[in-house]
Protein backbone atom coordinates (compact mmCIF):
# COMPACT_ATOMS: atom_id res chain seq x y z
CA UNK A 1 0.00 0.00 0.00
CA UNK A 2 1.41 3.35 -1.06
CA UNK A 3 -0.08 5.53 1.70
CA UNK A 4 -1.21 5.15 5.28
CA UNK A 5 -3.88 7.82 4.79
CA UNK A 6 -5.68 9.22 1.79
CA UNK A 7 -7.10 12.59 2.81
CA UNK A 8 -9.84 14.19 0.71
CA UNK A 9 -9.89 17.94 1.39
CA UNK A 10 -6.93 20.21 2.15
CA UNK A 11 -8.87 22.62 4.40
CA UNK A 12 -7.94 23.15 8.03
CA UNK A 13 -9.21 19.72 9.06
CA UNK A 14 -7.41 17.76 6.32
CA UNK A 15 -4.21 19.83 6.60
CA UNK A 16 -4.02 19.57 10.42
CA UNK A 17 -4.72 15.85 10.22
CA UNK A 18 -1.96 15.41 7.62
CA UNK A 19 0.47 17.37 9.82
CA UNK A 20 -0.20 15.19 12.83
CA UNK A 21 -0.12 11.97 10.82
CA UNK A 22 3.23 12.98 9.31
CA UNK A 23 4.57 13.62 12.80
CA UNK A 24 3.71 10.06 13.80
CA UNK A 25 5.59 8.77 10.76
CA UNK A 26 2.56 8.15 8.54
CA UNK A 27 2.60 8.70 4.82
CA UNK A 28 -0.33 10.72 3.52
CA UNK A 29 -1.73 11.83 0.20
CA UNK A 30 -3.98 14.89 0.30
CA UNK A 31 -6.25 15.58 -2.67
CA UNK A 32 -8.51 18.57 -3.28
CA UNK A 33 -10.93 19.38 -6.05
CA UNK A 34 -10.05 23.07 -5.99
CA UNK A 35 -6.98 24.39 -7.79
CA UNK A 36 -5.36 25.25 -4.46
CA UNK A 37 -4.95 23.86 -0.96
CA UNK A 38 -6.39 25.45 2.19
CA UNK A 39 -10.12 25.05 1.73
CA UNK A 40 -12.08 28.07 2.86
CA UNK A 41 -9.20 29.83 4.58
CA UNK A 42 -7.32 30.17 1.29
CA UNK A 43 -6.27 33.71 0.35
CA UNK A 44 -5.58 35.10 -3.08
CA UNK A 45 -2.88 37.76 -3.33
CA UNK A 46 -4.19 40.82 -5.18
CA UNK A 47 -2.11 44.02 -5.28
CA UNK A 48 0.08 42.67 -2.48
CA UNK A 49 -2.94 42.12 -0.23
CA UNK A 50 -4.15 38.74 1.02
CA UNK A 51 -7.78 38.55 -0.06
CA UNK A 52 -9.95 36.08 1.87
CA UNK A 53 -11.51 34.46 -1.18
CA UNK A 54 -14.14 32.43 0.67
CA UNK A 55 -15.14 35.02 3.26
CA UNK A 56 -13.29 36.92 5.97
CA UNK A 57 -11.62 34.59 8.47
CA UNK A 58 -10.51 35.69 11.93
CA UNK A 59 -8.91 33.08 14.15
CA UNK A 60 -10.03 33.27 17.78
CA UNK A 61 -9.81 30.91 20.72
CA UNK A 62 -9.40 30.69 24.45
CA UNK A 63 -7.68 27.33 24.15
CA UNK A 64 -3.98 27.91 24.80
CA UNK A 65 -2.98 24.56 23.34
CA UNK A 66 -4.70 25.40 20.03
CA UNK A 67 -3.23 28.92 20.01
CA UNK A 68 0.29 27.64 20.74
CA UNK A 69 -0.08 24.97 18.09
CA UNK A 70 -1.10 27.31 15.26
CA UNK A 71 1.55 29.83 16.35
CA UNK A 72 4.16 27.08 16.19
CA UNK A 73 3.34 26.72 12.50
CA UNK A 74 3.27 30.49 11.82
CA UNK A 75 3.16 33.40 14.29
CA UNK A 76 -0.13 35.32 14.39
CA UNK A 77 -0.51 39.09 14.36
CA UNK A 78 -2.40 41.35 16.77
CA UNK A 79 -5.51 41.88 14.64
CA UNK A 80 -8.51 42.47 16.90
CA UNK A 81 -11.93 42.18 15.36
CA UNK A 82 -13.93 45.33 16.04
CA UNK A 83 -16.60 45.63 13.35
CA UNK A 84 -18.59 48.79 12.77
CA UNK A 85 -22.24 48.96 11.68
CA UNK A 86 -23.49 51.48 9.13
CA UNK A 87 -27.23 52.16 9.37
CA UNK A 88 -28.40 54.71 6.82
CA UNK A 89 -25.07 56.52 6.93
CA UNK A 90 -24.69 56.62 10.72
CA UNK A 91 -21.96 54.48 12.31
CA UNK A 92 -22.28 52.31 15.42
CA UNK A 93 -19.60 50.22 17.12
CA UNK A 94 -20.14 46.51 17.55
CA UNK A 95 -20.61 44.36 19.52
CA UNK A 96 -23.34 46.23 21.43
CA UNK A 97 -21.36 48.13 24.05
CA UNK A 98 -21.14 51.51 25.76
CA UNK A 99 -19.80 53.12 22.56
CA UNK A 100 -22.87 51.84 20.68
CA UNK A 101 -25.24 53.11 23.38
CA UNK A 102 -23.58 56.52 23.37
CA UNK A 103 -23.94 56.67 19.57
CA UNK A 104 -27.56 55.54 19.79
CA UNK A 105 -28.91 57.51 22.76
CA UNK A 106 -26.14 59.87 23.90
CA UNK A 107 -25.94 58.00 27.24
CA UNK A 108 -22.57 58.19 28.95
CA UNK A 109 -22.82 55.83 31.93
CA UNK A 110 -23.69 52.12 32.27
CA UNK A 111 -26.60 53.03 34.59
CA UNK A 112 -28.13 55.25 31.91
CA UNK A 113 -27.68 52.55 29.26
CA UNK A 114 -29.24 49.86 31.47
CA UNK A 115 -32.20 52.09 32.21
CA UNK A 116 -32.79 52.76 28.49
CA UNK A 117 -32.52 49.06 27.54
CA UNK A 118 -34.71 47.91 30.45
CA UNK A 119 -37.40 50.47 29.58
CA UNK A 120 -37.56 49.15 25.99
CA UNK A 121 -37.45 45.50 27.08
CA UNK A 122 -40.41 46.11 29.40
CA UNK A 123 -42.33 47.72 26.54
CA UNK A 124 -41.77 44.56 24.42
CA UNK A 125 -42.75 42.25 27.32
CA UNK A 126 -45.98 44.21 27.85
CA UNK A 127 -46.83 43.84 24.17
CA UNK A 128 -46.52 40.03 24.53
CA UNK A 129 -49.02 40.08 27.37
CA UNK A 130 -47.61 37.01 29.09
CA UNK A 131 -47.23 34.74 26.08
CA UNK A 132 -43.96 33.30 24.70
CA UNK A 133 -42.27 35.11 21.75
CA UNK A 134 -43.39 33.34 18.60
CA UNK A 135 -40.78 34.62 16.14
CA UNK A 136 -37.30 36.12 15.98
CA UNK A 137 -38.61 39.69 16.05
CA UNK A 138 -40.52 39.21 19.28
CA UNK A 139 -37.61 37.31 20.82
CA UNK A 140 -35.06 40.02 19.96
CA UNK A 141 -37.35 42.80 21.19
CA UNK A 142 -37.62 41.29 24.66
CA UNK A 143 -33.86 40.71 24.77
CA UNK A 144 -32.64 44.19 23.76
CA UNK A 145 -35.60 46.47 23.02
CA UNK A 146 -36.73 48.29 19.89
CA UNK A 147 -33.84 50.68 19.14
CA UNK A 148 -31.01 48.14 19.06
CA UNK A 149 -33.32 45.72 17.24
CA UNK A 150 -34.52 48.16 14.57
CA UNK A 151 -31.15 49.79 13.89
CA UNK A 152 -28.69 46.91 14.22
CA UNK A 153 -30.55 43.60 13.94
CA UNK A 154 -33.82 43.66 12.00
CA UNK A 155 -32.95 44.55 8.41
CA UNK A 156 -29.47 42.95 8.60
CA UNK A 157 -30.99 39.64 9.70
CA UNK A 158 -33.66 39.90 6.99
CA UNK A 159 -30.94 40.41 4.36
CA UNK A 160 -29.00 37.44 5.74
CA UNK A 161 -31.93 35.05 5.73
CA UNK A 162 -33.96 36.48 2.86
CA UNK A 163 -37.03 36.41 5.13
CA UNK A 164 -38.77 38.81 7.48
CA UNK A 165 -37.84 38.60 11.17
CA UNK A 166 -41.50 37.87 11.92
CA UNK A 167 -41.22 34.77 9.73
CA UNK A 168 -38.00 33.49 11.30
CA UNK A 169 -38.11 31.16 14.32
CA UNK A 170 -37.25 32.66 17.70
CA UNK A 171 -34.60 29.99 18.48
CA UNK A 172 -32.14 31.57 16.00
CA UNK A 173 -31.46 34.27 18.60
CA UNK A 174 -31.07 32.79 22.06
CA UNK A 175 -28.97 35.51 23.63
CA UNK A 176 -28.03 39.02 22.61
CA UNK A 177 -25.25 40.04 24.96
CA UNK A 178 -24.88 43.72 25.75
CA UNK A 179 -21.55 44.92 27.08
CA UNK A 180 -21.69 47.71 29.61
CA UNK A 181 -18.10 48.83 29.07
CA UNK A 182 -16.45 50.81 26.28
CA UNK A 183 -14.97 47.77 24.52
CA UNK A 184 -15.27 47.18 20.76
CA UNK A 185 -13.42 43.86 20.75
CA UNK A 186 -15.92 41.52 19.10
CA UNK A 187 -14.65 38.30 20.66
CA UNK A 188 -14.46 37.42 24.33
CA UNK A 189 -11.67 34.92 23.63
CA UNK A 190 -8.20 35.19 25.14
CA UNK A 191 -6.46 35.01 21.76
CA UNK A 192 -7.24 36.24 18.27
CA UNK A 193 -5.33 37.21 15.16
CA UNK A 194 -4.38 36.42 11.60
CA UNK A 195 -1.31 34.40 10.58
CA UNK A 196 1.53 36.80 9.71
CA UNK A 197 1.88 36.54 5.96
CA UNK A 198 -1.65 35.16 5.63
CA UNK A 199 -3.55 31.91 6.03
CA UNK A 200 -1.74 30.24 3.14
CA UNK A 201 1.36 30.26 5.35
CA UNK A 202 -0.53 28.29 7.97
CA UNK A 203 -1.75 25.74 5.45
CA UNK A 204 1.63 25.51 3.69
CA UNK A 205 3.29 24.96 7.06
CA UNK A 206 0.84 22.21 7.97
CA UNK A 207 1.25 20.50 4.61
CA UNK A 208 5.02 20.86 4.37
CA UNK A 209 6.50 17.53 3.33
CA UNK A 210 3.06 16.04 2.59
CA UNK A 211 2.18 14.96 -0.95
CA UNK A 212 -0.75 17.03 -2.26
CA UNK A 213 -2.67 16.90 -5.53
CA UNK A 214 -5.12 19.66 -6.47
CA UNK A 215 -7.79 19.79 -9.21
CA UNK A 216 -8.87 16.26 -8.32
CA UNK A 217 -12.48 15.58 -7.46
CA UNK A 218 -12.47 12.41 -5.40
CA UNK A 219 -15.69 11.16 -6.97
CA UNK A 220 -14.38 11.43 -10.53
CA UNK A 221 -10.94 10.06 -9.85
CA UNK A 222 -9.03 6.83 -9.51
CA UNK A 223 -8.93 7.53 -5.74
CA UNK A 224 -12.64 6.64 -5.49
CA UNK A 225 -11.25 3.14 -4.95
CA UNK A 226 -9.19 4.46 -2.06
CA UNK A 227 -8.56 0.94 -0.72
CA UNK A 228 -6.13 0.51 -3.60
CA UNK A 229 -4.02 3.39 -2.34
CA UNK A 230 -4.24 3.71 1.40
CA UNK A 231 -4.90 1.79 4.60
CA UNK A 232 -7.25 4.44 5.89
CA UNK A 233 -9.30 7.29 4.53
CA UNK A 234 -10.09 10.78 5.82
CA UNK A 235 -13.07 12.37 4.09
CA UNK A 236 -13.70 16.13 4.38
CA UNK A 237 -16.14 16.47 1.47
CA UNK A 238 -19.92 16.76 1.65
CA UNK A 239 -21.67 14.12 3.78
CA UNK A 240 -24.58 13.44 1.40
CA UNK A 241 -22.31 13.28 -1.66
CA UNK A 242 -20.28 10.47 -0.08
CA UNK A 243 -23.44 8.37 -0.08
CA UNK A 244 -24.48 9.45 -3.61
CA UNK A 245 -27.26 11.59 -2.07
CA UNK A 246 -29.19 8.37 -1.67
CA UNK A 247 -31.40 9.70 1.15
CA UNK A 248 -31.83 13.16 -0.42
CA UNK A 249 -29.72 16.32 -0.59
CA UNK A 250 -28.77 18.40 2.42
CA UNK A 251 -29.43 22.16 2.09
CA UNK A 252 -26.86 24.90 2.65
CA UNK A 253 -26.81 28.64 2.90
CA UNK A 254 -24.27 30.56 0.91
CA UNK A 255 -22.75 33.99 0.47
CA UNK A 256 -21.50 35.59 -2.74
CA UNK A 257 -18.72 38.13 -2.96
CA UNK A 258 -18.08 41.05 -5.28
CA UNK A 259 -14.41 41.95 -4.99
CA UNK A 260 -12.76 45.00 -6.51
CA UNK A 261 -9.57 47.03 -6.29
CA UNK A 262 -9.90 50.58 -4.96
CA UNK A 263 -7.39 53.25 -5.91
CA UNK A 264 -6.96 54.45 -2.35
CA UNK A 265 -4.77 53.19 0.46
CA UNK A 266 -7.55 53.27 3.04
CA UNK A 267 -11.09 52.81 1.74
CA UNK A 268 -13.22 52.42 4.87
CA UNK A 269 -10.78 52.54 7.79
CA UNK A 270 -11.75 49.14 9.16
CA UNK A 271 -11.59 45.50 8.08
CA UNK A 272 -15.31 44.85 8.59
CA UNK A 273 -18.27 47.20 8.15
CA UNK A 274 -21.77 45.75 8.43
CA UNK A 275 -24.55 47.45 6.48
CA UNK A 276 -27.59 46.96 8.64
CA UNK A 277 -30.29 48.64 6.53
CA UNK A 278 -32.32 47.35 3.58
CA UNK A 279 -31.37 50.21 1.30
CA UNK A 280 -27.89 48.68 0.80
CA UNK A 281 -28.13 45.24 -0.87
CA UNK A 282 -24.98 43.74 0.66
CA UNK A 283 -24.56 42.73 4.30
CA UNK A 284 -20.91 43.58 4.84
CA UNK A 285 -17.92 45.23 3.19
CA UNK A 286 -14.53 43.73 3.96
CA UNK A 287 -11.34 45.74 3.42
CA UNK A 288 -8.80 42.94 3.43
CA UNK A 289 -5.59 44.90 4.05
CA UNK A 290 -6.69 45.84 7.59
CA UNK A 291 -6.39 42.20 8.66
CA UNK A 292 -2.64 42.30 8.13
CA UNK A 293 -1.48 45.89 7.71
CA UNK A 294 -1.31 48.32 10.59
CA UNK A 295 -0.19 51.94 11.00
CA UNK A 296 2.00 53.29 8.20
CA UNK A 297 1.91 49.93 6.36
CA UNK A 298 -1.70 50.69 5.38
CA UNK A 299 -0.44 53.71 3.41
CA UNK A 300 2.69 52.03 2.04
CA UNK A 301 0.38 50.16 -0.33
CA UNK A 302 -1.49 52.80 -2.34
CA UNK A 303 -4.27 50.40 -3.31
CA UNK A 304 -6.89 48.51 -1.39
CA UNK A 305 -9.06 45.47 -2.13
CA UNK A 306 -12.60 45.31 -0.86
CA UNK A 307 -15.32 42.65 -1.01
CA UNK A 308 -19.06 43.21 -0.72
CA UNK A 309 -20.88 40.22 0.78
CA UNK A 310 -24.34 39.24 -0.44
CA UNK A 311 -26.47 36.60 1.22
CA UNK A 312 -27.58 34.33 -1.58
CA UNK A 313 -30.05 31.46 -1.82
CA UNK A 314 -28.05 28.23 -2.25
CA UNK A 315 -28.32 26.31 -5.50
CA UNK A 316 -26.44 23.22 -6.61
CA UNK A 317 -22.96 24.15 -7.83
CA UNK A 318 -22.57 27.09 -5.41
CA UNK A 319 -20.20 27.03 -2.43
CA UNK A 320 -21.87 25.25 0.50
CA UNK A 321 -21.10 27.58 3.41
CA UNK A 322 -23.50 27.17 6.31
CA UNK A 323 -25.55 24.08 7.20
CA UNK A 324 -29.27 24.73 7.57
CA UNK A 325 -30.42 23.84 11.07
CA UNK A 326 -34.07 23.07 10.42
CA UNK A 327 -35.88 19.82 11.21
CA UNK A 328 -35.65 18.37 7.69
CA UNK A 329 -31.91 18.89 7.42
CA UNK A 330 -31.11 17.88 11.01
CA UNK A 331 -33.02 14.60 10.58
CA UNK A 332 -31.49 13.90 7.19
CA UNK A 333 -27.98 14.61 8.44
CA UNK A 334 -28.57 12.24 11.38
CA UNK A 335 -29.59 9.48 8.99
CA UNK A 336 -26.43 10.00 6.97
CA UNK A 337 -24.36 10.06 10.17
CA UNK A 338 -25.78 6.64 11.04
CA UNK A 339 -24.54 5.38 7.67
CA UNK A 340 -21.01 6.64 8.40
CA UNK A 341 -20.76 4.18 11.29
CA UNK A 342 -20.84 1.32 8.76
CA UNK A 343 -17.82 2.64 6.84
CA UNK A 344 -14.71 0.88 8.06
CA UNK A 345 -11.42 2.77 8.29
CA UNK A 346 -13.03 6.04 7.19
CA UNK A 347 -12.89 9.23 9.26
CA UNK A 348 -15.51 11.84 8.39
CA UNK A 349 -14.10 15.19 9.49
CA UNK A 350 -14.72 18.91 9.10
CA UNK A 351 -17.65 21.14 8.36
CA UNK A 352 -18.79 19.47 5.11
CA UNK A 353 -18.47 15.84 6.16
CA UNK A 354 -20.07 16.42 9.55
CA UNK A 355 -22.66 18.88 8.22
CA UNK A 356 -21.86 21.13 11.13
CA UNK A 357 -20.70 24.73 11.41
CA UNK A 358 -17.29 24.92 13.04
CA UNK A 359 -15.07 27.90 13.64
CA UNK A 360 -11.43 27.28 12.78
CA UNK A 361 -10.12 26.80 16.34
CA UNK A 362 -12.56 23.98 17.20
CA UNK A 363 -11.53 22.21 14.00
CA UNK A 364 -7.88 22.37 15.06
CA UNK A 365 -8.78 21.34 18.61
CA UNK A 366 -10.69 18.34 17.33
CA UNK A 367 -7.79 17.10 15.23
CA UNK A 368 -5.28 17.70 18.05
CA UNK A 369 -7.40 15.48 20.31
CA UNK A 370 -7.68 12.65 17.78
CA UNK A 371 -5.68 9.49 18.22
CA UNK A 372 -3.85 8.96 14.98
CA UNK A 373 -2.50 5.44 14.57
C1 LIG B 1 -18.12 32.67 5.03
C2 LIG B 1 -17.40 32.02 6.18
C3 LIG B 1 -16.67 32.79 7.08
C4 LIG B 1 -16.01 32.19 8.14
N5 LIG B 1 -15.33 32.96 9.03
C6 LIG B 1 -14.71 32.39 10.08
C7 LIG B 1 -14.02 33.19 11.05
O8 LIG B 1 -13.97 34.41 10.95
N9 LIG B 1 -13.42 32.55 12.09
C10 LIG B 1 -13.44 31.19 12.23
O11 LIG B 1 -12.87 30.67 13.20
N12 LIG B 1 -14.08 30.40 11.33
C13 LIG B 1 -14.71 30.97 10.26
N14 LIG B 1 -15.36 30.18 9.34
C15 LIG B 1 -15.30 28.71 9.49
C16 LIG B 1 -14.09 28.08 8.75
O17 LIG B 1 -14.19 28.36 7.37
C18 LIG B 1 -14.09 26.57 8.99
O19 LIG B 1 -13.90 26.29 10.35
C20 LIG B 1 -12.99 25.82 8.22
O21 LIG B 1 -12.94 26.21 6.89
C22 LIG B 1 -13.27 24.35 8.30
O23 LIG B 1 -12.27 23.62 7.60
P24 LIG B 1 -12.65 22.26 6.87
O25 LIG B 1 -11.36 21.61 6.54
O26 LIG B 1 -13.65 21.50 7.65
O27 LIG B 1 -13.47 22.71 5.55
P28 LIG B 1 -13.01 23.42 4.23
O29 LIG B 1 -12.09 24.53 4.50
O30 LIG B 1 -14.24 23.71 3.47
O31 LIG B 1 -12.20 22.28 3.44
C32 LIG B 1 -12.82 21.21 2.78
C33 LIG B 1 -12.03 20.93 1.52
O34 LIG B 1 -12.53 19.73 0.92
C35 LIG B 1 -12.47 19.88 -0.48
N36 LIG B 1 -13.39 18.93 -1.09
C37 LIG B 1 -14.72 18.83 -0.90
N38 LIG B 1 -15.24 17.84 -1.66
C39 LIG B 1 -14.21 17.29 -2.33
C40 LIG B 1 -14.11 16.24 -3.29
N41 LIG B 1 -15.19 15.57 -3.70
N42 LIG B 1 -12.90 15.95 -3.80
C43 LIG B 1 -11.80 16.65 -3.41
N44 LIG B 1 -11.83 17.64 -2.52
C45 LIG B 1 -13.03 17.97 -1.98
C46 LIG B 1 -12.88 21.33 -0.69
O47 LIG B 1 -12.47 21.81 -1.95
C48 LIG B 1 -12.18 22.02 0.46
O49 LIG B 1 -10.90 22.48 0.09
C50 LIG B 1 -16.06 30.77 8.31
C51 LIG B 1 -16.81 30.01 7.40
C52 LIG B 1 -17.48 30.62 6.36
C53 LIG B 1 -18.30 29.76 5.44
Question: pLDDT tens digit string along 47-74?
Answer: 999 999 999 999 999 999 999 999 999 9
Q: For residue 57, tell me if it sits in a domain.
A: yes
Ligand 1 atom at minimum distance from 216 CA: 43
Statement to judge: residues 123 and 9 lie in one domain: no
pLDDT tens-digit map of 27-44:
999 999 999 999 999 999
Statement to judge: residues 154 and 38 lie in one domain: no
Q: For residue 122, tell me if it sits in a domain.
A: yes
- The whole-model pTM stands at 0.96
**DSSP run (H or E) holding 142:** helix 136-144
Statement to judge: residues 75 and 103 lie in one domain: no
How many domains would you assign to the chain? Answer: 2
Please state, in angstroms and rounded to a whole number, the distance separating the CA atoms of residues 114 and 121: 10
Please state, in angstroms and rounded to a whole number, the distance separating the CA atoms of residues 31 and 39: 11
Q: Give one DSSP letter per residue of 240-280, joined into a string.
A: HHHTTTTT-PPPEEEEEEEEEEESSS-SSSSSEEEE-STTS
Q: For residue 65, tell me if it sits in a domain.
A: yes
- Ligand 1 surroundings by CB, under 6 angstroms: 8-14, 31-34, 39-41, 55-59, 217-219, 236-237, 255, 321, 350-352, 358-361, 363
CB proximity list for 135: less than 8 A, separation 6 or greater: 165, 166, 167, 168, 169, 170
Pocket test for ligand 1, best of 6, 7, 8, 9 (most atoms within 8 A of CB): 9
Q: For residue 284, tell me if it sits in a domain.
A: no
CATH number of the domain where residue 53 is located: 3.40.50.720
Q: For residue 152, tell me if it sits in a domain.
A: yes
CB proximity list for 68: less than 8 A, separation 6 or greater: none
Statement to judge: residues 74 and 161 lie in one domain: no
Q: For residue 363, tell me if it sits in a domain.
A: yes
Beta-bridge mates of residue 127 = none
Active-site residue identified among 79, 253, 267, 275: 253
Q: For residue 312, tell me if it sits in a domain.
A: no
- Told to judge if 284 belongs to the known catalytic residues of this protein, a careful annotator would answer yes
Query: Mean pLDDT, 10 residues at a time, over the chain (373 residues)?
Result: 96 98 98 98 98 98 98 98 98 98 98 98 96 96 98 96 92 91 98 98 98 98 96 98 97 95 98 98 98 98 98 88 91 98 96 97 98 91
How much is the pLDDT for 333?
A: 98
The residue range of the domain holding 160 is 95-172
Q: For residue 16, tell me if it sits in a domain.
A: yes
For residue 312, which of 334, 283, 346, 347 has the smallest C-alpha distance?
A: 283
Amino acid sequence: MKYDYLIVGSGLFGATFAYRAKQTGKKCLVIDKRNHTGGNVYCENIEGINVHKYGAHIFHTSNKEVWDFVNSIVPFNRYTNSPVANYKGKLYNLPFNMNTFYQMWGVTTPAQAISKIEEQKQEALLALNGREPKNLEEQALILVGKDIFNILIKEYTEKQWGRKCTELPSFIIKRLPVRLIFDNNYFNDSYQGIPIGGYNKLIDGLLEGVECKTNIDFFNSEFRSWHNYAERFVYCGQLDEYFDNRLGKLDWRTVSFKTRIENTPNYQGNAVINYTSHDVPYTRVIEHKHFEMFGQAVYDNTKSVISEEYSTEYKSGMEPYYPVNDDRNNELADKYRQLTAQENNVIFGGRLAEYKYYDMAPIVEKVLKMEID
